[in-house]
Amino acid sequence: MLSALIYLSIYTHLNLKKKDINFGIYYIYNIYIYIYIYVCDNKRTELVFVSGCDSGFGHDLAKFLDSAGMRVFAGVLDELHPGALKLKKDASPNLTVLQLDITNSSQITQAHQYIQSQTGKTGLWALVNNAGVLGYVCDGEILPIKMYKKCLDVNFIGSVEITQAFLPLIRQSKGRLISISIPLPGFAGYGASKAALISFNGAIRQELSRWGVKVIIIQPGAFKTIKYDFILSTIIHFPDILGSREQWNSAQEDILSGLAQEVMASYGEEYIRSMQQRLVNMSSVSSSDTGPFLEALKHAILSPRPKPFYYPGASAWALPLLYRHSPTSLSDRIFSRIFMSSDAQPAELLNS
């Protein structure tokens, strides 16, 4: 109705061409969207549930949404984690920290019961599936099956289970389901689990549209969200997925002790121990400004017309562009230079 009135007014009084009027309406509509999200509705009261808020993107997002005036339920793997305790201390009364291991069905049920008691007839406006694990960075051939299973259990099965639990509340509000998937070439276990999650979201996006529910995928570029004192003190930390130094050392020893003699001879211990260097290489092409990611999430949550996919960060749009529009040989070469150290080669290749 507003667009029609604007159209008639401009056409009658200014006698502009139709294509100019259509452009004007499009321009005015975009101004309206901006004002709706960032001015008039800058303080919102929507109820949002975010998993994986101990640290990383989830931690930053929970604080960001809280500061925007939303009612935030922040799921954490460990309520006694320093990040969880800091979140409790710094947040407003509108943010509630909940114990949530997304592979633990009873904890999902407890979180659902609590949030349902808080939403009433309103329902839950948005669920942000942020929790995930990276596993261990190494070649797909030598990554133990149990690490593939761990990635699938958390990144896919856990996300599906929590989605199924909370969808009735989201359908009630005609809200949004948002999942985070970071494109990481060379991470076979993580990539396989996230590919499954993207396929799942693609299917339910069409199914849930009948209820007015929006299903959204955020694929951010590489951002530095926290630094650890290991791996040359410059390791990049993706959202709650890397684990501790002890876990990485343990995983490395599992790989070394579990490989068949033939495979060990092909790769060599020195090459396997060099795998953690890949994350250092990634750090050099990562941004410390998480603003684009947070703004993309805010738009996905608040916009009356959210996009099905968001690619915040320079490398986020670059990766899909290379995959879709460049020869495979070219994209493989570029990704190898970025994510693989030219100094580290499997033993068999070095001796050939």
- Amino acid found at 37: I
The residue among 164, 74, 88, 177 whose CA lies nearest residue 124 is 177
Q: Which two tokens stand for residue 166?
A: 């909370």
Report the alpha-carbon distance of residue 8 to residue 14 in Å, rounded. Answer: 10
Q: Which two tokens stand for residue 207?
A: 């199914």
By the 8 A CB rule, do 297 and 249 touch?
A: no
- Amino acid found at 308: P
Based on the residue annotation, tell me whether 136 is a catalytic residue of this protein: no
Distance linking the first and last C-alpha atoms of the chain: 73
- Indicate which residue of 32, 38, 114, 190 is catalytic: 190
Report the alpha-carbon distance of residue 155 to residue 192 in Å, rounded. Answer: 9
| Structure letter (DSSP) for residue 210 | G
Dihedral angle, C-alpha 24, 25, 27, 29, nearest 10 °: 160
Q: Identify the three-state secondary structure at position 254.
A: helix
- Amino acid found at 331: S
Query: Any idea which residues carry the catalytic annotation?
Result: 190
